[in-house]
Structure 1
Amino acid sequence: MSNRRRAIGAGAALVAAVAAGAVYAQQSSSLSAAGLQSSSSPTRQTAYAVAAKRYKVPESVLLGVSYLESRWDTNGGLPSVSGGYGPMHLTQVAAASGGGIEQGGGDDFGAAAAPKTAAVAEPQTLPEAARLTGVDVGKLRINPVANIAGGAALLAKYQRDAHKPLGADPAQWYAAVTRYGGTAWFADEVFSVIRSGETRTTDDGQRVTLAADPKAAPVAAKGVAAAAATDCPASLKCEWIPAPYKQLDPKDPSKYGNHEKANRPAQQKIDFIVIHDTESSYASAVKSVQDPTYLGWHFTIRSKDGHIAQHVRVKDVGKHAGNWYINSKSIGVEHEGYVAKGAWYTEAMYRASAKLVGHLAATYGVPLDRGHILGHDNVPGRAMSAVSQMHQDPGPYWDWAHYFSLLGKPLKGSTTVKSRVMILPNYAKNKVAYTGCDSAHPSAKCPSHGGASIMLRTKPGKTAPLVKDVGLHPGSGKATMSVYDHSARASTGQTYAVAGKSGSWVAIWYLGQKAWFYNPRSNRTAVAAPGKIVTLKKSAKIWGMAYPAKLSVTPPADRVAEPLKYTVAAGQKYALLGSETGEYYHSVTYDSTKHVLYKDSTKYYEIQFGHRAYFVKTSDVTVSTVG
């Protein structure tokens, strides 16, 4: 306690300077854009303590709000998807607009361009924080200490506007926190974090701790119940914004949109939940999903506050994954954000998503593992020609380890790597030099940030070439360091069969080849993962869809299953992720009474073949269990 008091005393003059508009007048030349890299500047922890004292905001409330907004990161002074800056996510944006979701290929994409959306006004908290503190808007954007003070000043104003006392009791700050985040659900999550506590190393190396306060119980306003039509738990207060099921040509029942009527899980078991990002604003995504000529998915989650809209009932089939088999067996969840700005996936969105996905997984019996909770970038291509058109979201910055902890299923394993491994790098320390985050300078390196993916090489050495993916890169197969190129990457939570070891290097079987990654004892990137492995027989084929052996109907061209033309050899081993039975949902007419489900006894195993999951027929492999 005495150390904390000394820290507050040492920083009091600094915050007074912030309030007077003279922040860092004598230190500005020594500060970097991130704001806290100078040895003469205070720690992030101290900045929260000082700002809380200066503006009479409970430190736990200030830390809790900031954690939900940014996970205490600075993101290098770059704006979020909703125009927010810094640890307190102070916003300044005239409008948000976009041209639809997930621009790119995939079998279910490209039939119609996503509709344009009108400009949407956003809150302007950055100018308001500047007025309250007297600090220049530019400094509030890039200086974490000033940014934190600005957030504290806003909270204090919201508390006064609610006619509540400034003071140390967190329970009195519920209304102010709700206004700051925008929803009662946001405030509920802030107080949940306050009760449980949190410790994290930020993107610029600052260790921040919010001590647990189990007795912190806010005086909460009555929430709005979930819309009756949604499949959400009531606590999430989801909004129902329906996607249209409509015949587009009155003379042609084969032309309709934007999803498929079905009867899941009674008719078809749901085996997967697919995590997407929108590559657009929330408003643009919601506008797109209401267009009958476009595509339909089940849920969209807003970044700034975790608000959820449902568009398609879970019983129905969405068109979202670019693979018809996965579509018919999955639930699609879109998250407002961009692969290249993935460091700004907010804690509010992570928590809302985890609560939703955890509920859906429990309701429909979907296993909580990386074989069934898939990123869109893990969905297989239905055929070799489709692989290069598949999508890359949510990308290498999505924090899978954190996400699975929120799901109540933390990823873990022993450190002695043997026959089967799980990729599990330290997210904060795992800084890969990606390119392509700035569309104007595609060869420039992305801002340094932790991530969930590791690079794979042809030999054990940091300068060895990256492994090839002839499906994603037809012809040369040559991989790049682009943030959008996952052809030589393995991601957190994915499991692989070990193909060799050399010192601190481990090889795994990946797309028919040995792929090497660095796994030093001092900073392990993988752990042992007991489970099952399949060994390929001589005639083994790799499939992107688990279809019946024979069909009495002909699927549309974009739903045809073909064996993948990767070169594989007998004896190669791959981690077994799950099992499927041959199934094809034939829905080619607006009249849903004519939709037919075809099944047979053909058995498949789902395997981790590369960055994506694929399928092999059980007759083409042998199975072993490793401890």
Structure 2
Amino acid sequence: MKKIIISLILLLNITFSQTTEEIKNYFKLASDEFNVPAELLEAIAFVNTRWVHIEPEKFEPSCNGQPPAYGIMGLRDDEWFGHSLKEGAKLINLPVEIVKQDPYQNIRAGAALISKIASESGFKKDKIQRIEDYKDIVAKFSGIPQPEIAQIFAYDVYKVLSTGFDGFGIKIEKKEIDMSIFPKDLFEKAGLKIIKPEEINSDDYPPAVWDPSPNYTANRPYTTRIVIHVTQGSFAGSVSWLKNPQSNASAHYVIRSSDGYIVQLVREKDKAWHARCWNSFTLGIEHEGYIENPSVWFTQVMYLESAKLVRNMVNRWAVPVDSNHIIGHNFWQQPQWPIVRQEWDFATYDPASTYPTSCNNHTDPGPGWDWNHYLKLIRGDPTPPTITSTPQSGATNFIAYKSIFITFSLPMDRSSVQANLSITPNDTVTFIWSSDSKTLEIKPNKFWEFSTTYTIKIDTGAKSLYGGKLNAPFILQFTTTQPDIYPPVVEKGFPEGDNISIFAEMKFVFNEIIESASLAGRVKLLDENDQVISITSGKHIIKNDKSIVTFKPASVLLNGKIYKVKFLAGLKDLFGNATSSDYVFTFKTEEGIFQQGVVIDSFETMGPWWKPTLSGSTTGIDPNATDFLITNEKKMNGSYSGKLFYKFTGESGGVVRVYNSSKPNISNADGNIGLWVYGDLSGNQLEFWFYNPDNYIVNLGPVNWYGWKFISYPISSVPGTNKQFHSVVLRQIAGADLEGELYLDDLQRGGKITTANFEKEPIPQNFALHQNYPNPFNSTTIITFEIPEKSHVKLAVYDVLGREVESLIDQNLEPGKYKVSFNANDLPSGVYFYTLKTPKFVKTNKMLLIK
């Protein structure tokens, strides 16, 4: 009987690298499972970790001895903040190590613990709760033992929800939050007074909030330096730790990342315990965040508020503003350290250290701290800013939904720019600034009026963050297009036609931007009986004023079958023009089955492959946007593949060559030379290069597919003797895409797509469902089953809640033994169940996915 073998992909390395889309899905899954608002989970994770999965062994320890947090949810396992890590792991019945390592299980453990705290607080599952009702639960979840600081943590969480956030890949939707849950008298009555800037100010620096720590020594004799620190933890957690008498640590100030809020813990005249033997002559400022993720934590507002504080301090204490006096805790690593250390202050107050080392060995604030920018903010700089990039003034046919982008030479004072900016004729717009305050996006709230000439003027009152003002007014004019009355059109798409790889994925390029909401429910993959096939990894990408829609089948397609991709009528562009009929793309998968050859290179390591820029044949490319590397982003087999990403600079003539310096020998007896190529539908030309012994080039045709496809060439067609394979080359074709990316896997001799008959085996005597292999597995496993008679077979995978996550087979099958590949690339780690159901047989087995 027929034996269907779809694919066996054995992945050995266990890694966790999630996109923000996947993380948002994890929050949603955990929310559904434990009945905790997903947006609350998102905000807690944002405050604790900015959605970064914290693995303490890979991060620098806190310079103040603060115990580490774990995972995206910032779970704890210490005697000060408690043991939420162990408690959460126990609630979801998983080992602590899995909850440490797996982002999804970390989120599940956090959600389970919040649900438990809520239940203990009297929450009823059958009663709808306001999100504000979780306030005290959030405070308790933080593990912060001081109630008033735990409430500060809760305040931070609800503040994020009330304002929303959209930056560095994280998007938290703004919600209407009743912030009166934090009234002054409520906390006073409860003995949980939350300290706010308008209530209590520092005597040393009035914008700061005075919240004393017991950890200090009175009367510091001198002030010669200011030390910059990074907390390696959240703001509220760090304040809590620095007020812990057993921590033996403190700082003069702690600054919050999100808004520059400053708490003072120790008077400047006294010695804070922040830098060991430097404490007697230094002031210490802690900044919220992690040095491993500077772009996420070191915000412009934190730099600004810290610089204002330091500017005030240096004026009062006569500290020079230079890199020898405003220093990082890692100052001992700087090249000038041996010289500066000999100055009287270090020599006097650091006598126990051995020259040229120090009692300090910490590395904060790390290489991501922008010292040049920071010192300029402290000093001020009258250099006038200039405008370095804008749309061409006088441009016509400007698309009415597009934003205007203006880039400045220096980081700008946002309020001064916006106050000095005018638009004629007046229109309603939103100002969006880049994180470095150098680029301003002027976004029309709906779209600019058609066939209209606009003038944007920025007057000379606009100034940089350092104080310099524009020398002259800036004026930009542009004219919008005529009204758009046409619906979107697919200008390029795949798959369509015959002989499509069973590992194909789908990519469709529209001639204009599609309204994302109109895609919902309108993208279908159908089999030859018009039954819907599950799809996954759907993305809507906007690039060059076009929409690119990509997705893939949830399981590998079957050989020799007809499928359809449908975009149902009703797709809209941004002006509301809708398609009136369906777009239908029909394709048939290849009949042949892949026959594995002898692998020459599995692309698990870089090995003998050269980067394109090292080859003299590579030409016409942007070297900063062209490279070849080993990655686990996509793989056909094993754990890694080779990724070639490229960008051509001209309209034609570009060449990207990936050279194999080992030049493997090949012979006619090997049959074919081939490899798996993940195509990008670019239309550029793929080539194999050989020595025979001269250079011989084989044109394999355009990259007109998307997803994995096996590409091979008969070695006997290469003339000459002593043949060697040496390069994979992409040659630019005029009119094709200027940039893209390919993935390469399993270069091999003898591999081919064969039309040979399926392997035959004796008809099974009984129904059977076998244990999947491998198990546990990383992303892909094989499920084997047997049926002794023709039957309708349903094979599906379910999560722990009994929800179907993937239907692998739902059709009539002939008697035989079947092997089906289950690819779980888009599912989080955890326990899953697979069920085989026929009219005469039902069985369920358990499997464990560990990424």
Higher helix proportion, which one? 1
Rg (Cα) greater in structure:
2
User: Is TM more than 0.5 here?
Assistant: no
Pick the TM interval, shorter chain. 0.3 to 0.5
TM-score (norm 1): 0.40
TM-score (norm 2): 0.31
Higher strand proportion, which one? 2
| Larger RCO, structure (CA 8 Å, separation 6 or more) | 1
